[in-house]
Chain A
């Protein structure tokens, strides 16, 4: 089946530093990648939609200068959390659609802790 590989699975960084999260589609081409954030005991909240070769579309309230998204190829999308602060600590998940019949496939998530 279609697999999205997400790395790292967890990361701890110091406040003020930047962290990059990668999502790779392993056996299909993902023209669109979705990025979600999930706080404890809450559901997934869409942050942005990235399209290969174009600028990402951000949801209202999500700072595009803080959460940099790059989708330079059909198999790789990255999310960079710049100048991270403790309130950015969360679970970040990417997702791609693989045709209508198969639903969406998700990465395994990245637990970001900013100290």
Chain B
């Protein structure tokens, strides 16, 4: 069965460091993969989308990589700030016509000042 794995343990880092979050998937052939941020009591907010033919995507302090051989995406936040503290969700998307997103369990990031 399809599975999306994110580190369920919280990631604690110091302000200014780079946070790296991992998303592994099995039994998927995603056409693209999305990353979302979710704050407590709020809906997810779209951050980045990376396609299968893209190795890396950047947006300001965010960087996403996509390795279809390893079946893994890495999400990096450079120069992290306490305001980056949130849960980050990944969602691989296949082109099967099924339009809903399936999310990993999410990784909670805590950036200490």
Contacts and interface: CB of A to CB of B under 8 A. Distances in A.
Contacts of B43: 6, 93, 95, 106-109
B77 to A, nearest CB: 18
A79 B6 CA distance: 30
Contacts of B46: 102-105
B28 to A, nearest CB: 16
A49 B102 CA distance: 13
A60 interface: no
Interface stretch (A39-47, A61-69, A70-78, A82-90): A39-47
A2 to B, nearest CB: 10
Instruction: Give the interface size class of chain A.
Output: 20 to 34
B41 A91 contact: yes
A54 to B, nearest CB: 14
Interface of A: 6, 32, 34, 42-44, 46, 49, 91, 93, 95, 97, 100-109, 111
Given A34-B101, A46-B101, 4 more contacts: A43-B103, A103-B34, A103-B36, A103-B49
Across chains A and B, which 6 residue pairs bring their CB atoms closest together, nearest first?
A106-B43, A103-B46, A43-B105, A43-B103, A109-B43, A34-B100
